[in-house]
Amino acid sequence: MQASDCNSLRLPILTGFSCVLNQGTANGERVWALLPVTV
């Protein structure tokens, strides 16, 4: 994977993850379960 591909992939992942955090505050356990996967 090239650096440009990593950057183009990382941005939607971060925005999507922040969206999950905003919508899933009630599902805190689920968010924290996904945290190690995204990191």
Question: Distance of alpha carbon 17 from its chain centroid, rounded?
Answer: 3
> pLDDT in tens for each of the 39 residues of the chain?
455 555 566 777 777 777 666 665 555 566 666 666 655
**Helix (H), strand (E), coil (C) string for the chain:** CCHHHHHHHHHHHHHHHHHHHHHCCCCHHHHHHHHHHHC
Global pTM reads 0.31
